[in-house]
Amino acid sequence: MKSGTQVLATARTPFGRLGGALSSLGATSLGGDAIRNAIARAGIDRADVEHVIMGEVLQAGVGQAPARQAAFKAGLAKTTTAETINKVCASGLLAVAYAARYITAGDHRVVVAGGMESMSNAPYLLPGARNGYRFGNGVVVDAMIHDGLWDYYFDEVMASQGARVAAELGVTRAVQDEFAYQSHKRATDAHEAGALAAEIAPVKVATKAKGKIVVDRVPHAARPRIPAMAGGGASDSVWNHVPPENMVADPAQFSPYVSGDVPFTLVDRDEPVRTDASIEAMAKLKPLDPGGTITAGNAPGVNDGAAALVLGSLDYARSVGVEPLGEIVDHAGVAWDPPYLALVPAMAAQKLLDKTNLRASDIHVWEINEAFAAVALTAAARLGLDPTVVNAQGGAVAFGHPIGASGARIVASVVHQLRKRGGGYGIAAICSGGGQGDAVLVHVG
């Protein structure tokens, strides 16, 4: 995929803790708000967005077609198509890669891609209830763990595998704790310096109107547009349909927004970042498994949040006078034995380097998702990188890891970090449950 797809804007919500500041908002409301803010930052007509791709992992109970819900909540037109991707932690990154392919192929001029997750709102499941229980106990299953954090092939939580793989590869507890501490320190410094302002769009969470976001003006639905590729005009009989009012979706029924004098809590920072993190405190934490090295301190939390990127063709950007932030150059994906999440980000990144005739030394910004500190450390070692150049502004251990959204966050972060340094190449790489890895190459001129 030598795409040349342009990044026109990005936006993400702050990331929240489990049961924390964003827990009253469902995944599609978070996703819709990230989309709304990204489009506003791009300064384009919402009617120009032709397609939306959003990653989400924990879809049980969310409702039909989550990406379509997020598109409607963002005020996009009814003619905007949408699809939802689930590749576990890689979902948001893969959404960006797919969007770039659509644009390169000429299927769309403008696509919004990203990811969303509300782990706080993941439901509990009751398997077997549909057919009834004839004898014995029923079991309530946590959808967050079962669908997001549990290895299907080895029937155990992925953190347990991560600890065994870390031991096999010689990644010690002390090294993991040090990297995790640095993740929090870098994230704290980035927040204090205002370095994340270009990434984060603050959210005003209504305190009394549950599930609502307070805005200055509630977005109305964008005007519908017949697809340019359809080859028909407004008078074409295929498109000649005016539905009765009661058959048109009413934004008031599903909008997550309220305006006016409504009490709210402003969420403008990533809630999981520990400004008081210390090596001493991390060293006291018990491992998740007896004898293991992974703890609540050197692994990311369970989080809520969303991220979105507005992508477009160069011709489109020029036609509306938008200066692109950067370019999505290419994507690579790999797969390996399911337990080895620590290996696949480096494999995907190396495949990407080989495809594009680049070397690791040609890459100026590295974002490797901290599924665990051991993952980023292993990837750095395999690629011959100094760990201090990986996740320079902090990573998922500090920011949190809303699993459907993290891939989009790290791609956007690469874009903004490259712009701050004046350009260059960057790679965002991520592992995902089942032993798969993905990486995206970004260029800023």
Task: Tell me which residues are annotated as active site.
Answer: 89, 401, 431
Q: Can you tell me the distance from the alpha carbon of 213 to that of 226, in angstroms, rounded to the nearest whole number? A: 31
The single-letter code of the amino acid at 3 is S
SS (H, E, C) 239-254: HCCCCCHHHCCCHHHH
Q: Can you tell me the distance from the alpha carbon of 70 to that of 417, in angstroms, rounded to the nearest whole number? A: 27
DSSP one-letter code for 364: S
Write out the DSSP string of 167-229: HHHT--HHHHHHHHHHHHHHHHHHHHTTTTTTTB--EEEESSSTT-EE-SSPPPPPPP---GG
Contact at 8 Å (CB) between 262 and 218? no
Q: Can you tell me the distance from the alpha carbon of 88 to that of 57, in angstroms, rounded to the nearest whole number? A: 6
Backbone angles phi, psi at 366, to 5 degrees: -120, 125
Burial of residue 243, with CB atoms counted within 10 A of its CB: 0-12 exposed, 13-18 middle, 19 or more buried? exposed
Token pair, residue 259, equals 């305006």
Contact at 8 Å (CB) between 432 and 90? yes
Return the closest-CA partner of residue 303 out of 88, 17, 14: 17
User: How crowded is residue 382: how many other Cβ atoms within 10 Å of its Cβ?
Assistant: 17
> 3-state DSSP call for residue 14?
coil
Q: What is the Cα 288 distance to its own chain's centre?
A: 25
Contact at 8 Å (CB) between 401 and 371? yes
Write out the DSSP string of 214-275: E-SSPPPPPPP---GGG---TT-GGG-----GGGS--HHHH--EE-SS--EEEE-S-TT--T
Token pair, residue 62, equals 């969310």
